[in-house]
A and B are shown apart, each in its own frame.
Chain A
Amino acid sequence: MFDLFSDIFTYRDNALTRIDPRVKLLIALAALIAVVTSARPVLPLAVFVLCLGTIAALRIPAKLVALRLAAPFSTVAILVVIQTFVTGTTPLFALTLGGWTLTAKAEGLRQGLLLGARVLGALSIVLLLGIATPAHRIFQALRGFRISKEWVEIAILMYRYIFVLMDRAGDLAAAQRLRLGYTAPRRALASFTALAGATVVHSFEQAGRTHNAMRLRGYRGTMPFGPLPALGRRDRGLLALLLTVIAAAYGFFAWGING
């Protein structure tokens, strides 16, 4: 649980964490658009490999990366299988399961691989962004793109209290486990329901106490934020360079400008 949500790597000092989060957001957005609109799987897969390579170069533990990619990989696998057996007309091979014959088709497989590559490419971009930028800096950078202050405020508070509530839920779950709350499926369901209910109640109480604390420091309905610094020359140069690279790669790999 902790590994999955750990953001400790975002506070490391490296070339990526030093880039202004607004630049990273814009580059990530451009790359996402290129990946999800790509007509061929080459670009998304190249982005996927590039992002994973960068993550490896940043020495992020493989276990953490595997944990975060486990769910998307499963989704992609299901996607490819469903597309292969549902879409298209050209048969590749047939399977018989419980009296049913399922025929895999070439068009479906191609379509599934393209969709899967897009999902993996997009997720790897988000994963890299999340590993190279603390969430609160991403939220604050959004202010630079005129996202409403209220949205940013709620996102920051949610991010802060996820960890508090996770700790609380972890303690409650441990207390339930120590009293054999998860030893049988029915009991586990009852324990989990109670845990979820207690966490909701706790989060309401926490919200009340936090609101009081905010009022005592002058909160009047809007969280004040410091000014965003102007983008430096290095960041602007990097932004221009990477946007050009993404546009060129999109032309070459996504649509095949040269044929």
Chain B
Amino acid sequence: MRAVDVQGVSFTYDDGTEALAGIDFRVEEGEFVAVLGSNGSGKTTLIQLLVGLLKAKSGRIAIGGREIGSLTAEELYQRVGLVFQNPNDQLFAATVEEDCAFGPRNLNIPEAEVQRRVTESLAAVAALSLRGRAIHHLSFGEQKRVSLAGVLAMRPAVLILDEPTAGLDPAGEAQMMQLLKKLNREERMTVILATHTVDMLPLFANRIYVLDRGRVLQQGPSEEIFCHQEMIVRAKLRLPYVSRLMYEMKRHDGVPIDGLPLTIGEARAQLLELIPKEMILPGIEEIGS
């Protein structure tokens, strides 16, 4: 079944700003999809439409096969959950435990089940040890993980994240992306993330939608998306750094590189093929080891 189906959706804000202009957006169950776009491209508007915070002026939005307008709030928010960009917008309870229990308690489920969900969702984001802590005593990275746990406790089929790595240090960024990958691969959760950071996407996303000024410029797997250099520039984005390096080497130095590597692993494999075997020292220490 299709997890999310958006057809011909448009949205214009009251001040006349056209945020989305007849876009189509589809996500299959269990997919990991990234919505890539610069500031003002319409990512946040699309997300807010998907969770019912905004209503589309025209077009159709279905979540899990049902029109969004036909779902009650309880039904909708067990199908789709949104993790906000700024955890302070989302973490409103005094402690981690209270915040994670907020959603399940609103579903009127027995307290024992509420507690079980809290434990499981905190364990899923490696934050079980934070359970009794006050929210305002947490670091930014911890707050990000706890805000994800609060949404996971609702057991949504589709998890949407608005800039999940914004403000995190490199280690926190990697940890967050690994968590999302685990939820997607092991729990079969459908993940949609809106972002403008490109470096990690080839490692995680099955498909990428590129948005620009409320329109979908292109959609497809990362290798298809990033080979359209002009489109990437038009969307005010960039290639992943490793791809940019390989692209420049190919274009300016004539290095014979096949296609465009998108990850460090792919780039390394290609470079190893080009470097004469005798130049490679066996058993050399890894950088950073």
Contacts and interface: CB of A to CB of B under 8 A. Distances in A.
Interface in A205-243: 206, 209-210, 212-220, 223-227
A164 interface: yes
A54 B134 CA distance: 24
Contact of B111 (A8, A212, A219, A227): A227
A213 B93 contact: no
A6 B92 CA distance: 18
Interface stretch (A43-51, A98-106, A154-162, A247-255): A154-162
A217 B89 contact: no
Interface size range on B against A:
35 or more
B105 interface: yes
Contacts of B134: 7, 11, 134, 136
Nearest to A7: B134
Given A11-B137, A223-B102, A226-B114, A209 B154 contact: no
Interface string B81-96: 1101010111111110
Contacts of A160: 91-94, 135-136
B106 A218 contact: yes
A212 B137 contact: no
A163 interface: yes
Contact of A219 (B82, B94, B106, B137): B106
Nearest to A205: B89
Interface string A179-219: 00000000000000000000000000010011011111111
B103 A218 contact: yes
B137 A8 contact: yes
Given A11-B133, A206-B89, A226-B114, A217 B77 contact: yes
Interface of A: 7-8, 11, 134-136, 139, 156-157, 159-161, 163-164, 206, 209-210, 212-220, 223-227
The 5 closest A-B pairs by CB, nearest first: A218-B106, A136-B94, A224-B105, A217-B103, A163-B136
8 contacts: A134-B134, A209-B86, A214-B102, A216-B77, A217-B81, A217-B151, A220-B106, A224-B105
